[in-house]
Amino acid sequence: MLFEEQHVCVVCQDNQAVGERLTLEQYLELGHVSVVFGRNRTPGIEEWFMSEYGCKRRLEVITHDFNTLPQLVIGTQRVATVHGRLARLYARNLPLRIVPPPVNLPAMQEYMSWHRSLDRDPVLAWLRGKLLEMASRPAAPLAA
C-alpha cells in the first residue's frame, strides 16, 4: 500500500450555503458534481455509498475524471466529494473551501502491484522505491 486517503468536500470559496461543516441534510440538498467511469457509467464511491444507505443526491454535473471535480464547483453553489490530496492541491490555486463530508466515507487505499517475475528488475525496483518515497511524505493538513 502506498497511502490511504480520506474524502473531503469542496465548495466554492464564496458559497454562502455552506459553513465550516456540512450537515447530511445540506449535503443532500446541494447540487453535486460527481464522477462516473466507463461505458457503464460506474459511479464514484460517494454515489455508491449514498445509494447503499438510501440517500439521493441531486447530481447537476457529471464528469469522467477526478481532476475536473474541483474546477466545476467554482462560481456555483455546488459541492464535490474528492480525495483530500486532490482537494488541497486545487485549493492552493483556486477559490475553493474544503469541508469535511457529513458522513464517514471509506478511505481510499492506493496500492502498487507488479508481477513477481519483476521483483528483481533493477529499473522497476528503483521506480517502486521512488513511489514509496513520494507516497510516504506527510500530506499537508486538510485545512486550506
Tell the residue number behind the cell numbers 465548495, with chain if given.
11
Model pLDDT, residue 3 = 82
Position of cell 482537494? 87
What is the model's pLDDT at position 141? 58
pTM of the model: 0.78
Tell me the C-alpha to C-alpha distance, in Å, between residue 20 and each of 99, 101, 127: 6, 11, 40
Please report, in tens digits, the pLDDT of each residue of the chain (144 residues total).
888 889 999 999 999 889 899 998 999 999 999 887 777 766 667 777 777 777 788 889 988 888 999 999 999 999 999 999 899 999 999 999 999 999 888 888 888 899 999 999 999 999 999 888 888 877 655 544
Scanning 7-141, the segments in alpha helix (DSSP H) are 24-29, 45-52, 84-91, 122-135
Q: What is the pLDDT of residue 38?
A: 72
**Domains within the chain, CATH numbers bracketed:** 3-109 (3.40.190.10)
Task: Supply the pLDDT for residue 47.
Answer: 73
